[in-house]
Amino acid sequence: MEENEQRLTTEAERIKGDATREIDHDSQSIQIFRQTTDLALMVGRKSGSESSGCDTGNFADDARRPVKSYRDNSRTGWVSLG
């Protein structure tokens, strides 16, 4: 009986460790995604403000809205891409 409990405890600790590592990895991936999208939006805004004859600033704003919505709502588990 005690041997079985020890085996189950060891297995539970292994599963918990695996899950913790996976969550940490996913969190890092999300952070990299956010940094990348922020940089892409900044470049879009910059190129939009420097262009002439075309209002690409509106394109950058249109692209930014769904990303901002995703970022704001991803913390709550609810995501709207529209």
CA distance 56 to 46: 10
pTM recorded for the entire structure: 0.51
Domain-wise residue ranges, the chain: 2-74
Query: Residue 52: pLDDT above 60?
Result: no
Average pLDDT, the chain: 77
- Residues 7-27, mean pLDDT to the nearest whole number: 95
Query: Which residues fall within 8 angstroms of residue 69, CB to CB, at 6 or more apart?
Result: 79, 80, 81
Query: Would you state the pLDDT for residue 79?
Result: 47
Judge whether 44 and 63 are in contact, CB under 8 Å.
Answer: yes
Give the model's confidence band at 40: pLDDT under 50 very low, under 70 low, under 90 confident, else very high.
confident
